[in-house]
Amino acid sequence: MTGCVGVIVVEDHELLADGLCRLVECDLGWRVLTRVANGLDVYRACQVHRPALMLLDLGLPGMDGVDVIHQCMQRWPDLRILVNSASDDSERARQSLDAGARAFVLKSSPRRTLVHAAQQVMRGHRFVDPAVFGGALETVRKPHTPRATRACDVETPEQSLTLRERQVLKLVAEGQRNRDIAQVLSISVKTVETHRLNMMRKLDAHNVADVVNWAHRLGMMM
């Protein structure tokens, strides 16, 4: 890949984010457009900066990394997403790639592995860390049988929230008014009101104080 690639780094641990930024700028010679530490802020960062590549940690506060991939790929299908994960869980790797990520690299892997993965992704290829499935894409993509439904697999209130409802939850907890939320999310005030009503109903939240408490429980508030 020639030319300067614009990258956003999505990582909530400051030291790791610092290391990724140095890798992007020093090892790859590309440019870090911005850093994001909360899953709910990724969409807005992409709107503002329009990156070519995203380095994404899956374990984010605010929104699960796989949900972030789904949301971004719906809006920017040409965006290249490279997952940099602390977990070697094969199911998480499969979910990430099925959602649209181009590469999955473990944080425990050598620096050169991440550099190579980023280069491959920007050349239009896919990459799976050799430590996951032996690096075989065919294995990652192989259809798998869903787990049988068990009595303990009960969806919690927060798990029932949609991506938009989580975004509205965070913004309401921050004290934003409906019209401000509409502007931030580029949706109508009426749509905000609908998401807000559904979110509060699912969480059994009766006022803003309840919403703020939920935001703290879900790690959305710094």
104-150 tens-digit pLDDT = 999 988 899 999 999 999 999 999 988 886 555 554 554 444 444 44
Backbone phi and psi for residue 159, each to the nearest 5 degrees, phi listed first: -70, -20
pLDDT of residue 91: 84
CATH class given for the domain over 157-218: mainly alpha
Q: Is the CB of residue 127 less than 8 Å from the CB of residue 118? A: no
> Is residue 152 predicted with pLDDT exceeding 60?
no
pLDDT of residue 144: 44
CATH class given for the domain over 6-133: alpha beta
d(CA 161, CA 104): 26
**What stretch(es) of the chain map to CATH 1.10.10.10?**
157-218
Cα angle value 95/160/187 (rounded, 5°): 90
17-49 per-position pLDDT tens digit? 999 999 999 999 999 999 999 888 999 999 999
Which two structure tokens, joined as six digits, stand for 26?
């020093």
> Is residue 208 predicted with pLDDT exceeding 80?
yes
54-88 per-position pLDDT tens digit? 999 998 888 888 989 998 998 999 999 999 998 88
pLDDT of residue 150: 42
**What stretch(es) of the chain map to CATH 3.40.50.2300?**
6-133
pLDDT of residue 220: 76
Tell me how far CA of residue 17 lies from CA of 3, 9, 35, 54, in angstroms.
Answer: 23, 7, 8, 12
